[in-house]
Every structure is written in C-alpha cells, then in structure tokens.
Structure 1
Amino acid sequence: MSCLSVSLFPAIINNQMTVREYAHLCKNQGLDGFDLGSILLKNHTPKYVSHLKKEIEEEGIPLIMVTAYPDFTHPEALQRMREFDFLVHDIALASALGAKYLRVTAGQAHPGVSVAEGIEWAINSLKKAAAVSDQYGITLVYENHAKPGVWEYMDFSNPPEIFLKIAEGLRNTSIGINFDTANILVAGHETTLEVLEEVYDKVLTIHVADTASIGKMAPVALGTGLVPFREIFHYLKEKEFNGWLCLEEFGNNGEEGVKQAIDFVRSTWIEA
C-alpha cells in the first residue's frame, strides 16, 4: 500500500509541509511506500533533486508512483509536442528520484476534438513516451482518469468506452494500467467491476478513490462514498492481485484523514 494524499497537496505546495515530512507520515502509518504528484516537485536542478532523493532514502520508505498530467488530445499539434516534452521531463525526474511508476493520462476533452482523433493522438503519443520510459527504467501506468485541478476540462478518456479503446491500443507496449476505483462512477456508469475485468491483465496499480456522486466529480474520504470497495477488493483477492493499492486520499482532514483512509482500506481488504 502507498498513498497519494491530494488533500495535503496545498500544504506541501505552500511549504507548510515538506515532502520528507509527508514521507515520514506515510512510514509512520505503516505504509509500504508513498506517492507524489508531479506538481509537488519544485524543480529539476541537481541540488534539489539530489537533496530530495537523499531525504527520501533517509526516511526509508520508497517513492512508488508520481502522477503526471499529459494532455495529448490538445487540438494544436504544437501543444501536443510540448506536452510530450513535458512528459519526458517528468519521466526523467521520476527516474532521478527512484520512483517505480509514472501515472499518465490521455488528455483533456477539448471542444472540437473528435473521438477518433483523440484516441489516435493519445495512443501514438503514449507509445512514443513508453520508448523513453523504458530507457529510464520507469513504468508508465495509464489511468481511467477524471479531472485534476490543473486542467480546464474533464479527461477525454473518462468515458469507459474511450478508455478501453486506448487501453487496447497500448496493450502490446510496456504501459500498464492504473485503475481508479471512483472514475467509472464519475463518468456516469455503474460498471466499475466490468471495466476492471476488461483491463485486469494490464493493471499494475490501483488508485483507491471514492466519490459521493455518479456522473460528476465529488471526491470524498475513502469509505464514505458510493464506490463498492468490498466487491472490488474481493475481485482483486480472487485474482491474487500482487500490485500496488495506491490510496488517493481526499478527505480534507489533514494527517488524521490520511490515517482514517489507511485504516479503512486495511480493514476492508481483510473483510473482502
């Protein structure tokens, strides 16, 4: 188990909490690793990167996943080129910090971009990125994503039918799947397990996330929303899942919220 505490992002961005302190929190809660958003990494200067890597090593808990937000469905070809270069930077940075996975996205649902165009652009760009990540020893994991705060629009591949087409187009690459437990519901569908079954053989990581609503983004503390965690965990255990459960904690209750999320997932996993 690892944790991406989205509710602590503001504290880290505003220098009220350091990455080391966050890693220490995760270690103290008995997690096996911790995750970071790329927006939390302040720069790529040698001094900063080496210092941060040393702090992580001294805490004795590995960095498992870094989440990035490439936008490969942008209508402008030049911007898609920029997005690719931005992702290459994120791959290099994640590698320098010793991360295992880098979460990637298809891009935003930009007005005027057809489904066929978006699928083609996303698949082609992610395949190119995989050639780079393979060299750096980083595994890309593509997510059935919704919308980060840094985007204007929802994810182009939030609808399951689009997500599945892109996932199929990436099947013969090194890219795995980071399956988000909430985002099928966010897309307005109640077929979470059915979609998970379609891609399970490529699933390396699970974003354990919750939502209070179907058809719109409404992130809540884990276990307080609509996600059928017991059914999902039962399925994973039946399949002998041996990847990572990466808690996407969004309870907005500080460090106590992180502890509550971890306690919920542990107890629910045992019950399943």
Structure 2
Amino acid sequence: MPKLAAFPKAFMQALCKDSTMRLSDWIKLAVKLDIDGLEWYAGFLEMADEAAWPRFRQQVEQHGKVIPMMCCSPDFTHPDAAFRQREITKQKRWIDMTYALGGSYCRVLSGQRRPELTVDEGVNLAAECIEACLPYAQEHGITLIIENHYKDDFWEYPEFAQKMAVFCQLVEQIEHPNFGVNYDPSNTYLAGEDPLELLKRVSHRVVTMHASDRYLLEGTIADLQREESGSAGYAKRLRHGEIGKGLNDYDAIFTELKRVGFDSWISIEDGVDGMEQLERSVAFLRHKMAQYWP
C-alpha cells in the first residue's frame, strides 16, 4: 500500500516568512495525524542552518515518522547561463538537504514561463539543467520528481511546463532511473485541463503524488479557462479545500495509479482551514487507499 505524508499548507507564511511558528511546533501537530511521514520544504526559515538538519530528522523519526519528500522550486528557464548554473547549485544543496533528512524524493520544476521563450527553447533549458543534477541525485540515492505545477509563490510568471503538452514533452525528453513525476491533480485545473487525461499520459512515470482538492467559489470550469489564459496571477475562482469534497475524482485517480503498480508516497497538500480539516482529509485518503490497495 502507498504511504501517506502531509505538508504544512496552512502554515507556510508562519514557517517561511514571519517565524510565528517553529518547525518543532509543526512536527508536534503533524505526528498526531494518521500519517507515515512529513513532506518538507526547502524554504522553511530554520533550514538555513545546516547544522540543524539532523535535529529535525531526529525529531520526526522519534515519533515513528519519516521525511520522505522535499518540496523546492528551481527556476531553470532563465536565459542567462550563469543564473541557471546558480539554480543547479541550489538544487544540489536541496538534494543534500533531502539526503540529510533521510528522504528519497526531491522536487524539481521547469522554471518560469518567460514570454520570450519558445516551447522548445524552454523545454531544452529545463531538461539540460535537470540532467545536470541527476548524477548528483543518483549518488545520494535521491529521485528528482517533476510536478505538474502552477506557480511558485514568489515567481513573476507561472510554471513554464504548466500546460499538459509542454509538461509531457519535458518528461519524455528525460530518461533516467532517478527521475519521475510528482502528480498533482488539482494543478491541472489551474491549467484549464483535465487531470485524468494528464494522469493517463504520465502514469507510468508517476513516483509520488500530491493529494489535494479544489472547488469553485463561483462560475464554471469554462469561466476559469477563459480567465487563466495568459494570466500570471492565481485563479480567484478556485480554492483549496477538504480532500474528497472538491473537483477531483479520487476513484478514477487511484484506479489508474493501481493499474500501473503505483506503491509510493502520497502527500496531502491541504488543510488550509486548520488541523481538523486536515484530519478529515487524512481519514478520506486512508479509506480510499484501503479500498484500492487492500
């Protein structure tokens, strides 16, 4: 059966910006959940101190949990080669971070969808940078996972490989045993596309998953698609919500993942309305996982 992790979606500002929450506080909350691990984020303020990395691993593992996945956001589509090299250096440090924490999966992205780039140019730049990181990842026993992402909080432009056709082109260009897909069904809606269509195209490459759900505050998916065309901002109509209550069809998602033999980590990227919501999302996923992986 796949394993379940959780990500502190509700506490990112507190953990990454204003220090109003400590990582030890998040660990104390998370280990009470019926989960197997905690997904980490490279931008937690306290992770700036490398000497602290072993301590955080110990704090998690003493509760019988692990840190399986690292979430980070390299920007590999910048036209300047020196900039891209700095991003490769950062990615290698995040691999070190993942390794020190005992993790197996470290996220990569394509980069920003800068308007001057053609699709082929952007895909080639991103692939070149990811491939430059893969030998280092392999040395450390880390798999680099590319997410069908929407937009990093601190980027000017959305994800270069946000659209399905571009994402699939990039994934197909990189063949390596330490490279795979982190599938996020909700992000596909932000691209104005069908999450099940994407999953069927990449399911044989999926090695981890973000479990999330979105719901429309108003209007329709067609309204969303019109608004999102060429937009650099977040979709105002879509909101994160409790898993199982939104747009995603988890029966169809898990049917496809089971079909291809998926047996890895599913990390919950919800709970924006508090820990009780996160507990309900955990319960929903545990029930569904038991159905499909009895």
Taking structure 1 as the reference length, what is the TM-score of the superposition? 0.91
**Where does 1:121-270 land on structure 2 (aligned, <5 Å)?**
121-190=125-194, 192-213=195-216, 214=221, 215=225, 216=228, 217=235, 218-221=238-241, 222-249=243-270, 251-270=271-290
- Does the 8 A contact of 2:7 with 2:39 survive in 1? yes
Partner residue, 1:5? 8
Counterpart CA distance in 1 for 2:72 and 2:272 is 21
Match runs of 1:98-117 below 5 Å: 98-117=102-121
Q: By how many angstroms is 1:12 displaced? A: 2.5
Residue 269 of structure 1: how far off its partner (Å): 3.8
Gaps of 5+ in 1: none
Distance between the aligned counterparts of 2:214 and 2:130, measured in 1? Answer: 28
Match of 1:42 in 2: 46
Q: Could you say if the C-alpha distance between residues 137 and 238 of structure 1 is closer, same or farther in structure 2, counting changes exceeding 3 Å?
A: closer
2:99/2:142 contact within 8 Å kept: yes
Following TM superposition, where does structure 1 have runs of at least 4 consecutive aligned residues deviating by more than 4 angstroms? Answer: none
* Pairing 1:93–2:97 present: yes
Taking the aligned partners of 1:134 and 1:41, their CA distance within structure 2 comes to: 27
* Bigger shift: residues 258-267 or 212-221: 212-221
Aligned equivalents of 1:11, 1:259: Cα separation in 2: 20
The reply to whether residue 56 of structure 1 matches residue 76 of structure 2 is no
1:69, CA displacement in angstroms?
A: 0.2
Tell me if the contact between 2:15 and 2:45 (Cα under 8 Å) persists in the aligned partners: no
Q: Deviations over 1:28-56 (max 9, x none)?
A: 21201110111115345443223223322
Change (3 A) 1:59 1:115: same
Aligned equivalents of 1:173, 1:236: Cα separation in 2: 19
User: Structure 1 residue 84 and structure 2 residue 88: aligned?
Assistant: yes
RMSD: 2.0
2:112–2:159: 8 Å Cα contact kept in structure 1?
yes
**Structure 2 contact 74–109 (Cα < 8 Å) conserved:** yes
Q: Report the Cα offset of residue 186 of structure 1.
A: 1.2
Q: What SS class does the counterpart of residue 181 from structure 2 fall into?
A: strand
Distance 2:63 2:245 in 1: 31
Between 51-60 and 173-182, the greater mean CA deviation after superposition: 51-60
Identity of aligned residues (%): 29
The Cα of 1:234 is off from its aligned counterpart by 2.4
User: What TM-score results when the alignment is normalised by the length of structure 2?
Assistant: 0.85
1-side partners of 2:135 and 2:261: how far apart? 29
Deviation at 1:134, TM superposition (A): 0.9
Alignment-derived partner of residue 231 in structure 2 = none
